[in-house]
Amino acid sequence: MPRMRMNQAISAAIADEMRSDPDVIVLGEDVAVAEGPFKTSEGLLEEFGPLRVRDTPISEMGFLGAAVGAAATGLRPVVEIMFVEFLGVALDQLSTEGAKFHYLSGGLVKVPLTVRASVGAGLGFGTQHSQTLESWVVGTPGLKLAVASGPANAYGLMRAAIRDENPVVVLEPRRLYARREEVTVGEEGIIALGRARPVVAGDDATVVALGSTVGAATEAATAASWSADVIDLQSLQPWDREMVYESVARTGRLVTVEENPLSGGWGADIVAAVAADLFGELKAPPLRITSPDVPVPFGKELEERYMPSSAYVGEQVTELLDTGRVPPPWWQREEITT
Amino acid sequence: MSTPLERRLALQQDRRVRYERMVEIRTLENKVQDLFDEGLVHGTTHLCLGQEAVAVGVAAAARTTDQVTCTYRGHGVALALGLTPVQLLGEILGREAGSIGGIGGSMHLCDPEIGLMPTFAIVGAGIPVAAGAALTAQVRGTDDAAIAVFGDGSTNIGAFHEALNLAAIWKLPVVFVCENNQYGEYSRIDLTTPVDDIACRAESYDIPSAIVDGQDPDAVAEAVSGALDQARGGAGPTLLELKTYRYAGHSRADTAPYRPEGEFERWYEKDPIVNFGRRLVDEGVLGDNGVEEVEAAVDARIDAAVELVLASAPAPVAAMFANVLAP
């Protein structure tokens, strides 16, 4: 098993799909000659040439729209949106056009499109380049959404996304690009969309994390006096109810760890589903650990507070277990806001 | 009953069929308004009365393997490309007989067999998608092309400019067909657009353009054919501005009270159906009673289609759950 950084794993996944299918093309700003601002398309131009690997103008509505049209007519475009915020100017093409073509063609037009975007805080990119924005994608039937949490699942989810017959958004936490781990490559490395990954096993709680928060949740569970199942959700649309339900039915406690504002975060859907379907199994109210309802701040210390840390996850879960109640988030404890 | 493909091939080969299709579009659009007034159409409609020559000219020029994106004012383009009156009326009335089973309605038509991509209810959205269909042809090395049909109002949205720019730098085989019907929704074009001719917007993308009489199906077909030849030959995109006129208001509720006095009458002198009919009679393509014969045949066909569709089943509830995702 090769050891690689997450950005290398992404390049490798795309390259493997391009080798096996001549219809796979790559579009995005600076993805060809520069091999991607985060080096997520390393070697692609050299191996596959300028017909299939293209630098685009800074023009997301144009090139994402073109990718929708190319996908609808037979290609499998992989589009890079450099920072997920840039999807805002192109969201019509993804959510209102591409996501609807299969439905609005009576199943005759497929849109096998992969949209990759870097997300998240931690690198000091400031308010307009640090959000996670899963909420822009979930809740749109016709789209799938996967979120990488490291090199191995970045590789596996990317290959599954490119093979999928639907528009799939793959979000890549930017601060994990340089993280290294061993990656299972080849067919065995492919990870089915919609399947979560058990990371740590335990009995006191089920901690559901996604993308950038998988690390904090895992560290917290490993260091704590309590033990928990830590589940890396990996896919958010659809999400793996089976694994989450099986775990919560056993532990009786659900915790979600989210790098996004409290309001409208993905954890609310998981909590609502579990609360409704497993009400009788719960020993405590579900706990959502999130960022506050603020834009991502720039100052280093502030940005670090924005992201749920392993220490914070540990404290919150400990208090839930001790009291049986949901503890207030840090910004209420410290009486900064109500 | 002819299939969509047969209807398309007939139109490409025979100008008499083109005339008949224009009459069919107008008759059907008027019928849609009648059905609407009778309360039988749920939702809204955007009629293309007056713009029949654009639809037929484009369909005559395009191959069936070329991809066409068009707008929510798309009944005419869909019929011209080959969609049958039953498929169209079925969709407008939410019946199983519709082109996508009554799930889409007036604004959402589709038939990949004749190159009709899902039609676009968002202004301008189909323009980059057409560029993408052209990208497929370029990457695969086929000599297919794509056509984006859009209104004058679309040329103020970013999608138009981004698509032209992208198509220009990549020399994509796409033809941008602007049907300038003088109005964007309820607003006259000069209130929203600083240039008199949309065609001039091609200059800033270094692509060729032409202004075409959009009321003449022969002129439209010739211009689109020429641009398609250029595109297939690797010369890249062209912007065609087809000057036309929207006889109806924007949508069902709009009676177009904002129209200046005499404007409709001036445009009606250039009516595409009246003038093309005359031309075909003069040329002997239609006999002396040809116009009346076509009208009678089309009337009968549309009446039969309406009857069939009204008697057909509404889309079943299960249909709303189908095709959300591809397997």
Q: For residue range B87-129, what is the model confidence (pLDDT) as tens digits?
A: 999 999 999 999 999 999 999 999 999 999 999 999 999 999 9
**Average pLDDT over every residue of B156-165:** 98
Q: For residue A50, what is the nearest residue in chain B, using CA coordinates?
A: B139
Whether A3-189 shares its CATH topology with A197-333 is answered yes
- The whole-number pLDDT of residue B79 equals 98
Given B103, B128, B161, which is nearest A69 (Cβ)? B128
- The whole-number pLDDT of residue B252 equals 79
Active site residues of A: 129
Q: Which CATH architecture has domain B4-245+261-320?
A: 3-Layer(aba) Sandwich (3.40)
Q: Taking phi first (over 0 means left), then psi (-120 to 50 degrees means alpha), and beta for anything else, what does residue B294 get? A: alpha
Given A57, A70, A112, which is nearest B135 (Cβ)? A70
Could you give the percent of chain B with pLDDT greater than 70?
A: 100
Chain B interface, Cβ < 8 Å to A:
67, 69, 99-101, 103-104, 108, 110, 112, 117-118, 120, 122, 125, 127-140, 146, 158-159, 161-163, 165-166, 169-170, 322-327
pLDDT band at B245 (very low <50, low <70, confident <90, very high): very high
Q: Taking phi first (over 0 means left), then psi (-120 to 50 degrees means alpha), and beta for anything else, what does residue A102 get? A: alpha
Q: For residue B158, what is the nearest residue in chain A, using CA coordinates?
A: A61
Alpha-carbon distances of A126 from A39, A79, A171, B211, rounded to whole Å: 21, 24, 18, 48
Q: How many residues does chain A have?
A: 338
Q: Which helix (H) or strand (E) holds A244?
A: helix A241-251
pLDDT band at A258 (very low <50, low <70, confident <90, very high): very high
CATH 3.30.70.100 fits A197-333, yes or no: no
The residues spanned by each domain of chain A are 3-189, 197-333
| Cα Rg, chain B, nearest whole Å | 19
Residue A338 reports pLDDT greater than 80: no
Amino acid at B278: R
- The whole-number pLDDT of residue B254 equals 87
User: Helix, strand, or coil here: A133?
Assistant: coil
B67 and A56 within 8 Å at the Cβ level: the answer is no
| A8-42 confidence digits (pLDDT tens) | 999 999 999 999 999 999 999 999 999 999 999 99
Distance (Å, whole) CA A289 – CA B167: 46
- The whole-number pLDDT of residue B255 equals 87
Amino acid at A155: Y
Given B130, B166, B323, which is nearest A59 (Cβ)? B166
| A294-315 confidence digits (pLDDT tens) | 999 999 999 999 999 999 999 9
**Average pLDDT over every residue of B262-278:** 97
Counting Cβ atoms within 10 Å, is residue B119 exposed (0-12), middle (13-18) or buried (19+)? Answer: buried
CA B207-B208-B214 angle, to 5 degrees, is 125
- The whole-number pLDDT of residue B60 equals 98
Given A65, A102, A103, which is nearest B132 (Cβ)? A65
Q: For residue A167, what is the nearest residue in chain B, using CA coordinates?
A: B325
- Pick one of 2.40.30.10, 3.30.460.10, 3.30.70.270, 3.40.50.970 as the CATH number of A3-189: 3.40.50.970
A65 and B159 within 8 Å at the Cβ level: the answer is yes
**Average pLDDT over every residue of B234-247:** 97
Query: Which of A103, A163, A165 to mutate to probe the B interface, most B CBs <10 Å?
Result: A103
The answer to whether residue A38 neighbours chain B at the CB level (below 8 Å) is no
Q: For residue A100, what is the nearest residue in chain B, using CA coordinates?
A: B324
State the complex-level ipTM.
0.96
pLDDT band at A337 (very low <50, low <70, confident <90, very high): confident
Chain B residues in contact with A64 (beta carbon < 8 A): 128
| A213-235 confidence digits (pLDDT tens) | 999 999 999 999 999 999 999 99
Phi and psi, residue B53, nearest 5°: -70, -30
Query: Which of A104, A111, A143 to mutate to probe the B interface, most B CBs <10 Å?
Result: A104
Residue A57, token pair as written in the block: 């103008």
Residue B1 reports pLDDT greater than 80: no
- The whole-number pLDDT of residue A1 equals 87
| A86-128 confidence digits (pLDDT tens) | 999 999 999 999 999 999 999 999 999 999 999 999 999 999 9
**Average pLDDT over every residue of B250-273:** 93
Residue B288, token pair as written in the block: 């002396």
Average pLDDT, rounded, for chain A: 98
Distance (Å, whole) CA A32 – CA A43: 9
